A and B are shown apart, each in its own frame.
Chain A
Amino acid sequence: MIAVWKRELQSYFMTPIGYVFVGFFLLVSGILFTFNNLMSGSGDVAAMLSSFTMIPIFLAPILTMRLFSEERKNKSEQLLLTSPLSLTSIVIGKFLSALTVWLLTLIGTFLYVLIIGSYGRLYWGEIISSYIGFFLMGGCFIAVGTLISAVTENQVSAAVISIGINFFIWVIDSVIYVVPVAFVSTVLQWFSLYERYDPFARSQLGFSGILYFLSFMTAFLFLTVRVIDKRRWSEG
């Protein structure tokens, strides 16, 4: 698992993908930071991070689109699948590599916190809670992308489908209130990442929220393992 993690992480920075992800994230978040914090003189870090939450919807698929689809296309997955590694450790290793890039990117945004800190007071409880929530929510988008990458053989399709699903997750909160069937709106609520993120932004770092995000990721990674395993048995 560690070998796969290392290889993927290296690959992110040997190819433009890692730089594109980090660069675009910091560019867009920098623009938002400039308008929402610098120009309006706001020192609210939680609000700053909340304004960033829509960015991973569009950018997380960049990290995940090639994880499995490319390996499948150029057959390098044969090396992994015929090695003694278990499928679960391959999937987790790849997921963790994307998660590491995401973590590094978030560390990059700490610069904004330092800038705010040099002009005003920082509320560390709120900052840490918001960052943990944001990191976990991004992890969920990465887990979704990992699954989609295992389903498709084409990077572009993987990215587009992942963006579609992430976008749907983003608008779920608005959809829930217009769905007349109670059961459907309850099911949809299960997938509402933003509703789970809200308490983190209000410095309510709760066990249930963390557990929800971790379960969400685990479920999607489990599905990824099942999808790849099923393909090996496929008779279609």
Chain B
Amino acid sequence: MIEIQGLSKRYGNKYAIQNVTFTIQKGEILGFLGRNGAGKTTTMNIVTGYISASEGRVLLDGHDILEEPRVVKRRIGYLPEQPPLYMDMTVDEYLKFACAIKEVKPGAVKAHLNDVCELVKIQDVRKRLIKNLSKGYKQRVGLAQALIGNPEMIILDEPTVGLDPRQILEIRSLIKRLGQDHTVVLSSHILTEVADVCERVVIINKGKIVAQDKLGSLTSDVGDTFRITLRVAGQENEIKRTLRSLEGARYVDSLGVKEDGSYDFMVETDRSMDIRRPLFNTLAKAGLPILMLRPADITLEDIFLKLTGDSEEA
């Protein structure tokens, strides 16, 4: 278990993070959410011992990272936002180097590397120079590095940034698999990603923790609103008028033209009522065919709006 107690980091007169306190339970997958610049990376850098806090402390099972850095660092694997790779090495050389500095016993290196490479699916590129790998592979090599030494806790800072959708899905499913044997902290600004893999969420905003709870509890806090987006063929004004006439439609917003001859709209209603059927009937009666309809995701901004009450931020 990691206890983060009253962590602050000051740069000049400004706090990058202030009085950050939360616990990471053994075996959980914790989402650490925040906008870019909210203080996620600073917190992760302090927890992993890369930088030091101005105030507060980090304890891993009672061991302070400042007082016993070796003990703590040996038990944490870290994938920073930019994977710490040496471009002039091959994947194998790099991971062997990681084994050496993470004190993997020489006799166990070969088997350990095989396991890790198998897990992150980089067996086929082990002999290649890291600089020649695609971004997705580089990310996986970075992840492999974090897994070297089989640490109890794995901290991943924005692991899917810059990856294509397929790679994102692969990394997410990998994180889920890792969560079976490790404690995982996933720092991200993408709510859907966190919703997909995490059980509990800590939200940081402007350097302060604004919420920490099970994901379900958080979304239900914001959840008095239900949103759907839809694409309707027809005239914009006519569609808008028809949608506004719907009972329960609190807010209707035009999202512009995404497909010729049709308009996209966003409709907000109370969560308690499902207007999809009346919506379909009304539009059908008006001769306005629905080309697409889907519930809109609750975004990080939505939760922030609710939690911070800062509409300009969203």
Contacts and interface: CB of A to CB of B under 8 A. Distances in A.
**A is bound by B:** yes
Interface of A: 2-4, 6-7, 10-11, 14-15, 74-86, 232-236
B101 A4 contact: yes
19 contacts: A6-B100, A7-B89, A10-B93, A11-B86, A11-B88, A14-B88, A76-B86, A78-B45, A79-B145, A82-B50, A82-B78, A83-B101, A84-B70, A84-B74, A84-B102, A84-B103, A233-B51, A235-B11, A236-B11
Most A CB within 10 A of own CB, among B9, B100, B145 = B100
A55 B88 CA distance: 28
Nearest to A77: B84
Interface in B159-185: none
A233 B50 contact: no
Q: Which 7 A-B pairs have the closest CB atoms?
A: A3-B100, A79-B84, A78-B84, A83-B101, A76-B84, A82-B48, A14-B88
Contacts of B103: 84
A78 B44 CA distance: 12
Contacts of A4: 101
Given A10-B93, A235-B11, A85 B101 contact: yes
Given A79-B98, A84-B69, A235-B9, 17 more contacts: A2-B100, A7-B97, A10-B89, A75-B80, A75-B82, A78-B80, A78-B84, A79-B84, A81-B49, A83-B101, A84-B102, A84-B103, A85-B101, A232-B52, A235-B11, A236-B11, A236-B12
B12 A84 contact: no
Interface of B: 9-12, 45, 48-52, 54, 69-70, 73-74, 76, 78, 80, 82, 84-89, 93, 97-98, 100-103, 145
A234 B11 CA distance: 8
Nearest to B73: A84
A224 B51 CA distance: 16
A232 B51 contact: yes
A2 B97 CA distance: 10
Given A82-B50, A84-B70, A84-B101, A15 B76 contact: no
Q: Is the interface of A mostly helix, strand, loop or mixed?
A: helix
Contacts of A84: 69-70, 73-74, 101-103
A81 B50 contact: yes
Contacts of B89: 7, 10-11, 14
Contact of A3 (B11, B78, B101): B101
B85 A76 contact: yes
A84 B71 CA distance: 7
> Which residue among A4, A84, A232 has the maximum number of chain B CB atoms within 10 Å of its CB?
A84
B101 A80 contact: yes
A92 to B, nearest CB: 14
B85 to A, nearest CB: 6
A161 to B, nearest CB: 24
Contacts of B9: 235
Contacts of A14: 88-89
A222 to B, nearest CB: 19
A232 B97 contact: no
A170 B201 CA distance: 60
B66 to A, nearest CB: 10
A2 B99 CA distance: 12
